[in-house]
Chain A
């Protein structure tokens, strides 16, 4: 299995632009998580899905952030408009429903200038 696949690996964009991060979970996994890593706060859960349905989006910082999971093999995290403080590493993770130990992708390093 290829594991959780995220794209792009690196993204540099200008403030105000729309950014879309992509994730392909491990085949068969039915829970998907989006995390953001910063130096100050470590890994923060932004949103998670079970069976493609968003369950908890309380970690999404602002309305500028949105996430979708149109099918079991694909999810997106969108930031519109982006701001410099959104600069961070964004991770996607997946697991089987009810299994706490999730598998993480390699992350997308986002830089907003």
Chain B
């Protein structure tokens, strides 16, 4: 059973427009959420995170929104750039495991930003 789900395998947007990547989770014990970005032939790199006590976290062009009642989070990229083309993974950490770093990842969404 997939506790963290990214239901859209791929997304294509035009340069300069907004990219919205979505993630749903089923476990109400998750208290910390992260987004990782992965380029081909490279490992995932940390992008942005949000604690369950917040509903929004912003870092430059990247904003993550958390809707706890819907068990849903999203990553907004504005404006999108061709260099943002990558696979984006949503990940969650379970409450009580903050000292372990153990994460549950989604399947990933491939973003393509067209020039």
Q: Is the CB of A106 within 8 A of B107?
A: no
- A88 an interface residue at 8 Å Cβ cutoff? no
CB proximity to A under 8 Å, residues B81-115: 89, 91, 93, 98-108
**In the complex the two chains form, is B101's CB within 8 Å of A48's CB?**
yes
User: B32 contacts which chain A residues (CB < 8 A)?
Assistant: 100
Number of interface residues of A (CB under 8 A): 29
A contact patch SS: strand
User: 13 A-B Cβ contacts within 8 A?
Assistant: A41-B107, A42-B89, A45-B104, A55-B100, A97-B99, A99-B101, A100-B34, A100-B98, A101-B46, A103-B45, A103-B46, A104-B43, A106-B43
- B residues with CB within 8 A of A: 2, 4, 6, 32, 34, 36, 41-46, 49, 89, 91, 93, 98-108
